[in-house]
Amino acid sequence: METETNRVEAFSDGVFAIVITILVLELKVPEEQGSALWHGLLEQWPHYAAYLVSFLIIGVMWVNHHTIFSHLKRVDRPLLFLNLMVLMVVSVIPYTTNILAEHLMDGDSANVAAILYSSWTVVYALAFLGFWWYVTKVGHLFHETVDKDGARATRVRFGLGAVAYPLTVILSFFSAPLTLVAHFLIALYYAANQIPIPLVVEEERLETGSDLRK
Amino acid sequence: METETNRVEAFSDGVFAIVITILVLELKVPEEQGSALWHGLLEQWPHYAAYLVSFLIIGVMWVNHHTIFSHLKRVDRPLLFLNLMVLMVVSVIPYTTNILAEHLMDGDSANVAAILYSSWTVVYALAFLGFWWYVTKVGHLFHETVDKDGARATRVRFGLGAVAYPLTVILSFFSAPLTLVAHFLIALYYAANQIPIPLVVEEERLETGSDLRK
Amino acid sequence: METETNRVEAFSDGVFAIVITILVLELKVPEEQGSALWHGLLEQWPHYAAYLVSFLIIGVMWVNHHTIFSHLKRVDRPLLFLNLMVLMVVSVIPYTTNILAEHLMDGDSANVAAILYSSWTVVYALAFLGFWWYVTKVGHLFHETVDKDGARATRVRFGLGAVAYPLTVILSFFSAPLTLVAHFLIALYYAANQIPIPLVVEEERLETGSDLRK
Amino acid sequence: METETNRVEAFSDGVFAIVITILVLELKVPEEQGSALWHGLLEQWPHYAAYLVSFLIIGVMWVNHHTIFSHLKRVDRPLLFLNLMVLMVVSVIPYTTNILAEHLMDGDSANVAAILYSSWTVVYALAFLGFWWYVTKVGHLFHETVDKDGARATRVRFGLGAVAYPLTVILSFFSAPLTLVAHFLIALYYAANQIPIPLVVEEERLETGSDLRK
């Protein structure tokens, strides 16, 4: 059975919003007293850095999720579960973030933590690709305005775009802090650059054709 | 007084989204330093396994909740409270999950934890059956498109489907890890198989008859 | 400036959903090993009882909030802040719940905890009465279907209904467990009985007059 | 690509709702037994005070966010990320709140905590100004009813209004409790006073012209 997208979007928005917000629960109050509190706060910089990067990563994920769903008219049961898989992967990010923040400057364990963090972005990219692969394969879930063949053609570019994530896994063997910087830059890149989903109709028709959109 | 379903759905989506997301709060950063961190992470496998299974269970619950509500046009006061009861049962799952994860490999207490976890799925099944029983009994809350007699007839099959849960309680006396596997398989089964809610009209009419759907 | 109610409802639903769900974070895994885990679980009964009662209380609050907003057409700025005050009071309930659960069987501190818990329900009742007072006073925020004079007349009955809460404060001086039972019964009563908001039009016109409702 | 505002609002509402609600997680049950529990509760007054002030601050932020979005018709990609930045800053407030509450009466560390808390409100004001600056600059995201030139002219007044925040940073060097009081008064002021966004059409037309509003 196919249903409209609004409740899946609401549920997904809820999960994204909670995941991105509970990141802050890992920031703990330093116990230092007096002006040593400054020092205690500064020592937490790996937590701040990891918070910033993961917030940006989850934010970009949400924007992409939002963009894809704005092109969908209906959802079917397989899509509900592919979406659930994406959400499960996203939900684990506060955990990998926390591990990386705890161990960022701790020699060997820093590399272990970075490998885990980076590998999880690969898992996310795969879950998202699976989602997009299914949507473009079945086609009939799109709005009428979407160029289905064009959308299908973006799959290769989506896949190529995801190649940055395995590279961060390799980088993780060498430097955890540099890996975090790499993830920051990748997230910034994806924030600025988006693979457009081709439309068969012009933007203007979309503007007026409110009956085509939810 | 009867009201529309949208706010109940929004509230329920919120609860499901939070419950499924706070599961991750139970994954704690291992304290091992150096390359021993790998070992510390591997030792947490019961937490990962329980996380995966509970995420899937709650996800399937949400999909079923979503499916039933997509056939409802209005809610009345008893339904609000039956729905609240379902949400209360769902909200406890992170607690039973955590108990099972902590004790999964701990001899006697593993069985206790598994019995608790499995019994709670029975409670959930009963709460959900009560909800469905009420909806099909009063009938007038459905969309006009729903075949009310057909919907009523699904109650037996819904009930039979729920028999798997008491069986997991029995299995819990013998092996906690096997019980977790059983719950995983049951959730997968329910993810793939759904008892359809019969409609009086064809799917096509639903497609075009947007006035019949919210 | 007046705006539509949907975003206030969404925000309020979010807060209610989170408050009702994070109650479970206070249920901690018992540390007992072996079959002593049963004992450890049973010893947590005050937490289970407090969880149940607070879940029901917050659930009833949400239903009432939902009912009132289903009669509102627009919100103005004072209402936004009166609503915010209601949400603030609701958000503190997990804290008072936790204090009561921790101390329920602890002699003197049990009474202190019960007084706090009960007093907070008085605060909630006052916040809610203030909200209802304002809505019925200004009147113009209601849907056209609402009988404004009739709605104003319910204020006394609303106020009388709230008298049960101060009584629980008095009861708290004598017995914390009985106070919890009293709150359970009051919540059940409010779940079953609702002061109806009078309408100028018949229910049937509401059914067909979809243009009058959001 | 521009999309409608509803999903951004839903996501933002989710984040605001979670942030404002998890403030309560920092209120811990006092360990005092017997009637000493009263004393334990009273000793937590800095936590209560900080909770109240931060709840009000986040509430006012949400009302402002809500007000601005009620004047927007569409969002574009830069706006999504400017909004994400606002949400990131808001999400950190439970952390700065907790630090201030922990250290409010602790001599030197109280000033450090207050400086941090106040500086973060400056960061928030800047993030919000950036958001408003962009919206008024591009103009085309507004509803047709908004007077774009008038909206642009409010930027100076918005900026002047934000000058109170840097002043609290200075005050933080002298007294942490007074700083908290100042933030309370500022939030109350912003709750009561709002810079209106000018409209080209009269309020009445808005009332009837439902086609102009989402």
Residue B89: what pLDDT? Answer: 95
Helix (H, G, I), strand (E, B) or coil at B42: helix
CA distance linking residue B140 with residue C53, whole number of Å: 31
Contact flag C108-D55 (C-beta cutoff 8 Å): no
Ranges under pLDDT 50 in chain C:
202-214
Contacts of residue B112 in chain C, CB cutoff 8 Å?
35, 37-38, 41
- A-B CB pairs within 8 A amount to 100
pTM surpassing 0.90? no
Structure tokens given for B130? 């009560």
Which A residues 53-92 touch B at CB under 8 Å? 77, 80-81, 84, 87-88, 91-92
By CA distance, what is D3's nearest residue in A? A70
Considering only residues A39 and D152, tell me which one the structure prediction assigns the higher pLDDT.
A39
Contact flag A18-B23 (C-beta cutoff 8 Å): no
- Chain D neighbors (3+ CB pairs < 8 Å): A, C
Residue B206: what pLDDT? Answer: 47
C52 touches C116 (CB < 8 A): no
Identify the bridge partners of residue D75 per DSSP, sorted by sequence position: D3
Residue D195: what pLDDT? Answer: 65
Q: Which of A3, A19, A108 sits opposite B70 (nearest CB)?
A: A3
The per-residue DSSP string of C27-90 comes to: -PPP---TTHHHHHHHTTHHHHHHHHHHHHHHHHHHHHHHHHHTTBSEE-HHHHHHHHHHHHHH
Residue C195: what pLDDT? Answer: 65
Contact flag C19-D16 (C-beta cutoff 8 Å): no
Residue B177: what pLDDT? Answer: 95
Give per-10-residue mean pLDDT for chain D (214 aa): 75 92 90 85 93 94 86 86 93 95 89 94 91 85 78 74 87 95 91 72 46 38
What mean pLDDT, rounded, does chain B reach?
84
Chain B interface disruption, residue of C20, C23, C69, most B CBs within 10 A: C20
Amino acid B155 reads R
Average pLDDT for residues B173-197, to the nearest whole number?
A: 87
Contact flag A109-B36 (C-beta cutoff 8 Å): yes
Contact flag D35-C109 (C-beta cutoff 8 Å): yes
Tell me which DSSP letter residue C119 carries: H
SS3 content of chain C, % helix, strand, coil (to 5): 75, 5, 20
Q: Which of D16, D33, D67 sits opposite C109 (nearest CB)?
A: D33
Residue A205 has pLDDT above 50, yes or no: no
Contact flag B81-C191 (C-beta cutoff 8 Å): yes
Residue B58 has pLDDT above 60, yes or no: yes
Structure tokens given for A182? 């790499």
